[in-house]
């Protein structure tokens, strides 16, 4: 049984479970896969669940109203409760209508209705969260009083009934099904930070209920913190093993050895505990061209908050550039591995027919210009009427002819890492392109009416304040070629990622790392010798975001919904 826990975005299914399921089924195993994340969003945002939360919130509100004196924390909780109670009646009555707004293409076209639906679903989740104050459960994140990078905090959080929203939910709606099935092996896929506490909560409950079931946890997070896992044997009281790097062959071999009662010494890519010792087995790299098309069987595709399912396809693993100084994703995969175009077309055909959708996402870190060209030509040759988006670099090979080709092949959105409007900072980041190249590619996209989504970083080590503002200036200078229907940009503060080039060579970038420990830290705290300070970064980022919103009147449409509107 394979499980994808909350909290992750509820707009499209993630690829990890479908890839693993297809591989295991081809090896002859029966697999049940469940997206617990979308199930949770759907069940929490119902009239029945919201009524229960409202009743509990009201009871707590009345208690605090007549309690004196209130602590400062209780005052904050009281104000929150007063907010969520105020409009709860209308929210509860219309919750299905608000969910259906995201599932109707015509409704997405109305910014007013879209914003209202987003606001009301957010209010619904705030009502759910109120009972577990100060925990926050939203459409994007899950924040608790506990640090999800702290092993000590994880152990506290998994059994804390007061703040863990998912503890009783899992007991009531997930664990009974797992108990009935009695799987020999349960795999939990954790790909985002906000899944860490819910994911380990799920493992904790399964271990208590079915102590003989082998529980393995995988995902890119654990590849990046494998050294920390090997130093903390207490983690193995929650799970039996961790899968690092790629998981298909590892999970298959794990199932094979568990079923035959053999030891795990020959299972690649796993970390496990046995007789007082932690073992880390050799790494195995998959050949992406030997993998089957993903299987979304068992996924409740009608529950995702989109008009039609947007299904993910993996055209490659890792990034062909692999040089950006702030990035650590290349550490997850041992090499850049490309899937042949005819197999990508086979994937598209299979998924399009089996799941009745025309919408797809190419989800590797960055598609190369050659891949864009080869796959687009194959889509056109096979007369496949599809709509898709992809993440790419500002590669000089993306010219007007290529943009024209990919538009004909169904591309509606490209997601770029602009990062900075300063050439000096781009060079520090080792992005490998010039500002003139960026302008040319943006112009080509605009001419073909391909929407552009830009990611920007403020506060890279050594960046000066005036250089940070050059990012805003660059975007505003190119306003005419960026005013496409689907344009959006996200400006984020730089974070020092574990295993990035900056983290490995801090003195080269003028920083000193001040926080390294044995926890599951993916980010490090640091001090800079020169450049914009961490405190200033937040102010500058906020200002840039405000100015971009004011100048572009950016529509509050989530990136996954844009391809339905362009």
User: What's the CATH code of the domain at 452?
Assistant: 3.80.30.20
Q: Are residues 188 and 132 in the same domain?
A: no
Question: Rounded distance, CA 21 to CA 414, Å?
Answer: 29
Which of 143, 173, 190 corresponds to the end of one domain?
143
Of 121, 103, 119, 104, which is closest to residue 50 (Cα–Cα)? Answer: 121
User: Which residues of the chain register pLDDT less than 70?
Assistant: 261, 484, 516-518, 553-556
Which of 114, 143, 172 corresponds to the end of one domain?
143
- Is residue 302 domain-resident? no
First to last CA, the chain: 38
Of 195, 216, 198, 196, which is closest to residue 207 (Cα–Cα)? Answer: 216
Question: pLDDT, tens digit, for every residue of 158-176?
Answer: 999 999 999 999 999 999 9
Q: Are residues 193 and 335 in the same domain?
A: no
Q: Are residues 355 and 493 in the same domain?
A: yes
C-alpha 73: how far from chain center: 31
pLDDT of residue 112: 86
Q: Which residue has tokens 């790909």? A: 191
Query: Could you give the percent of the chain with pLDDT greater than 90?
Result: 80
Question: Rounded distance, CA 449 to CA 454, Å?
Answer: 15
- Taking a C-beta distance cutoff of 8 angstroms, is the pair 284, 268 a contact? yes
Q: Are residues 408 and 526 in the same domain?
A: yes
**Residue 343 CB neighbour total at 10 angstroms:** 17
Q: Are residues 250 and 378 in the same domain?
A: no
**Residue 47 CB neighbour total at 10 angstroms:** 13
Question: Rounded distance, CA 22 to CA 11, Å?
Answer: 22
pLDDT of residue 444: 95
Q: Are residues 351 and 237 in the same domain?
A: no
Question: pLDDT, tens digit, for every residue of 338-358?
Answer: 999 999 999 999 999 999 999
Q: Are residues 117 and 181 in the same domain?
A: no
- Taking a C-beta distance cutoff of 8 angstroms, is the pair 546, 473 a contact? no
Count of domains in the chain?
3
- Is residue 292 domain-resident? no
Residue 489, φ and ψ in degrees, nearest 5:
-145, 145
pTM for this prediction: 0.94
Q: Are residues 477 and 435 in the same domain?
A: yes
Q: Are residues 376 and 505 in the same domain?
A: yes
DSSP symbol at 342: H
Q: How many CA atoms lie within 13 A of 87 on its CB side?
A: 12
What length does the chain have? 566
Q: Are residues 248 and 341 in the same domain?
A: no
Q: Are residues 378 and 520 in the same domain?
A: yes
Q: Is the peptide bond before 69 cis (omega within 30 degrees of 0)?
A: yes
* Domain that includes residue 530, residue range: 308-562
- Is residue 172 domain-resident? yes
Q: Which residue has tokens 């409009």? A: 87
DSSP symbol at 510: T
Question: Rounded distance, CA 467 to CA 544, Å?
Answer: 12
Q: Are residues 135 and 17 in the same domain?
A: no
- Taking a C-beta distance cutoff of 8 angstroms, is the pair 485, 450 a contact? no
């Amino acid at each position: 049984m394979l499980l994808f826990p909350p909290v992750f975005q509820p707009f499209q299914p993630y690829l990890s479970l479908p890839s693993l399921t297809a591989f295991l089924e081809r090896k002859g195993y029966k697999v049940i896969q469940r997206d617990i994340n979308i199930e949770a969003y759907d069940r929490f945002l119902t009239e029945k669940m919201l009524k229960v939360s409202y009743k509990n919130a009201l009871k707590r509100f009345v208690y605090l109203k007549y309690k004196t004196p209130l602590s400062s924390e209780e005052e904050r909780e009281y104000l929150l409760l007063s907010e969520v109670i105020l409009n709860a009646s209308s929210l509860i009555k219309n919750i299905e209508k608000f969910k259906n707004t995201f599932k109707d293409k015509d409704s997405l076209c109305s910014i007013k209705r879209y914003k209202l639906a987003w606001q009301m679903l957010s209010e619904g989740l705030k009502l759910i969260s109120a009972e577990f104050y100060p925990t926050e459960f939203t459409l994007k994140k899950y924040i608790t009083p506990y640090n999800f990078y702290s092993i000590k905090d994880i152990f506290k959080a998994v059994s804390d009934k007061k703040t863990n929203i998912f503890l009783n939910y899992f007991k009531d709606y997930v664990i009974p099904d797992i108990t009935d099935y009695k799987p020999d092996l349960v795999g939990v896929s954790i790909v985002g930070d906000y899944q860490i506490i819910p994911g380990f909560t799920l493992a904790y409950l399964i271990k208590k209920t079915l102590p003989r079931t082998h529980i393995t946890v995988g995902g890119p997070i654990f590849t990046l913190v494998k050294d920390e896992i090997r130093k903390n044997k207490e983690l193995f009281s929650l799970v039996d093993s961790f899968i690092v790097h790629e998981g298909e062959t590892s999970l298959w071999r794990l199932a094979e050895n568990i079923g035959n009662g053999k030891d795990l010494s020959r299972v690649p890519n796993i970390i496990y505990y046995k007789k007082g010792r932690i073992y880390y087995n050799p790494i195995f790299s998959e050949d992406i061209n030997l993998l089957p098309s993903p299987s979304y069987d068992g996924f409740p595709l009608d529950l995702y908050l989109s008009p039609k399912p947007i299904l993910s396809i993996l055209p490659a693993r890792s990034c062909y550039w692999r040089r950006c100084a702030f990035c650590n994703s290349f550490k997850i995969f041992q090499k850049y591995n490309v899937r042949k175009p005819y197999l990508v077309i086979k994937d598209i055909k299979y998924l399009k027919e089996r799941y009745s959708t025309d919408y797809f996402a190419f989800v590797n870190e960055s598609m190369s210009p050659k891949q864009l060209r080869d796959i687009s030509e194959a889509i056109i040759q096979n007369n496949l009427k599809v709509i898709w988006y992809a993440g790419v670099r500002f590669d000089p090979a993306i010219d007007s002819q290529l943009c024209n080709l990919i538009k004909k092949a169904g591309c509606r959105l490209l997601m770029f890492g602009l990062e900075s409007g300063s050439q000096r900072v781009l060079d520090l980041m080792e992005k490998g392109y010039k500002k003139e190249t960026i302008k040319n590619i943006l112009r080509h996209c605009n001419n073909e009416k391909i929407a552009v989504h830009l990611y920007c970083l403020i506060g890279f080590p050594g960046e000066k304040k005036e250089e940070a503002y050059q990012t805003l200036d660059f975007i505003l200078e190119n306003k005419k070629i960026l005013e496409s229907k689907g344009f959006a940009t996200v400006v984020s503060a730089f974070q020092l990622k574990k295993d990035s080039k900056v983290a490995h060579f801090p003195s080269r970038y003028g920083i000193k790392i001040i926080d390294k420990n044995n926890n599951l830290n993916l980010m490090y705290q640091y001090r800079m010798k020169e450049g914009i300070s961490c405190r200033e970064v937040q102010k500058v980022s906020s200002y840039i975001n405000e100015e971009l919103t004011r100048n572009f009147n950016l529509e509050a449409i989530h990136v996954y919904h844009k391809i339905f509107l362009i």
